[in-house]
Amino acid sequence: MAKREYSYYPGCSSQKKASADNFMRSANAMCDALDITLKEIDDWNCCGASIGYAGGGEIPRLSLSARNIALSKQQHGDADIIAPCAACWIATKEAEERVEHNPRVREGINAALAEIGLKVEPAQMPKTRHMVEMLVEDIGLDTIANGKKKGLEGLTIAGYVGCQTNRPFGIAGESFENPKYLDNMVEAVGAKAVDRYAKKVACCSGALMFSEPEKGQALVRDIIEAAYDGGADMIVTPCQLCQMNVESYQTDINKRFGTKFNIPVVYYTQLIAVAYGKSAEEAGLDGQIIKATKLEALAGK
């Protein structure tokens, strides 16, 4: 496989011992298997996430992502910035869009960046892409399918795309209402994708899970119920916040709604890592609160 290099930053939740620690371990294992080198942007900062608007206005929020863009340019030239996190991806792309199209915002951002000796210029910024785009567009799902060491036979998986990996930008060529890439990825590693998973692009409530738990948990209840209805053994998602929201409140949801949920929620990177022969630990499966037992068994084989 051809060697590839990208600029990247993990994002807050995927740092060591943060809530998506196991995501990053599996992503590293996957990149190792696919001969991808991710060069971290030194001293990257938080993108402001979506909820940052409550504290920071437009220019402060966008300045955060502009700083990451400027640092990436300084350190890694025109290399694409790979965002493994949907919120980072969106925030960085939005900053690029406003810098390109809104002169007032651009001037404001650059006045702020000047304080630290940085600058962003239209048509000069590296492109920011989601890690999924890197896999689908640069590597190709066929290549991933052909290179795998083992098929994840016997697993039925609900591909939960969620909101922000899908909207507003999405993956080129996919529809907003029924994107197929995650199902295709599941099939590429030899598992069975739940057909017509009803809550594929539903919202997990995002950051409102923290501020409005009852309302958020009601949304997640429906997402899990639909996965069971589709006969899923587990749910797979590309999004760190979706993973956290759908996996870790199942006990609370069971209490609140009298359900008996106990379904593992994994990342696509974990499926690929296991299919490429990585151990359960390398694939970050020790980070599941609800153990993905069947996937672990395959990893041990």
Partner 1 sequence: MTQMNQAMIEKYRSSFLKEVETNVEEGHWVKMCMQCGVCSGSCPLGPHWEHPPQEIFMMIRANKRDEVLKSSSMWFCTSCYNCIARCPRGLPITHIMHGLASYSKKLGLAPKSQPTESFGQIFWNSIASNGRVNELKIGLALQFKDGFGQGVKNAMAQKDLGMAMMKTKRMNPMEFFGGHTCKDKSGIARMLKKAQEVEDQHIANYGAGK
Residues in touch with partner 1 (CB under 8 A): 12-13, 15-22, 43-46, 48-60, 63-64, 67, 90, 94, 103-104, 107-109, 111-116, 163-164, 166-168, 176, 202-203, 205-208, 210-212, 215, 219, 248-249, 251-252, 286-289
Q: Which is nearer to partner 1, 18 or 141 (CB)?
A: 18
Return the closest-CA partner of residue 133 out of 171, 182, 80: 171
Neighbours of 52 (CB within 10 A): 17
Q: Which residue has the tokens 């900062």?
A: 45
User: In the complex with partner 1, which residue's Cβ is closer, 129 or 148?
Assistant: 129
Nearer to partner 1, 36 or 274 (CB): 274
CB of 35 to partner 1, least distance (A): 27
For residues 195 and 192, give the distance between their C-alpha atoms in angstroms, rounded to a whole number: 9
Half-sphere exposure of 284 (CA within 13 A, CB side): 25
| Helix, coil or strand: residue 72 | helix
C-alpha–C-alpha distance, residues 159 and 69, integer Å? 31
Nearest distance from residue 275's CB to partner 1, in Å? 22
* Residues 156 and 284 sit within 8 Å (Cβ to Cβ): no
Reported as type and span, the H/E element at residue 97 is: helix 86-101
C-beta neighbour count of 220 within 10 angstroms: 26
What one-character DSSP code corresponds to residue 51?
G
| Residue 106 Cβ vs partner 1, minimum distance, rounded to whole Å | 11
Least distance CB 221 / partner 1 (angstroms) = 13
- Of residues 80 and 245, the one with the C-beta less far from partner 1: 245
Beta bridge partners of 39: 7
In the bound state with partner 1, the residue whose beta carbon lies nearer, of 225 and 252, is 252
- Minimum Å gap between C-beta 31 and partner 1 is 20
- Alpha helix positions (H), 230-277: 240-248, 250-257, 268-275
The β-bridge relationship of strands 192-193 and 156-159 is parallel
Tell me whether residue 198 or residue 203 sits nearer to partner 1 (CB atom). Answer: 203
CA distance linking residue 188 with residue 161, whole number of Å: 16
Closest CB 153 distance from partner 1, rounded Å: 27
* Contact by Cβ (8 Å): 285, 292: yes
Nearer CB in complex with partner 1: 179/230: 179
| Shortest separation between residue 15's beta carbon and partner 1, angstroms | 5
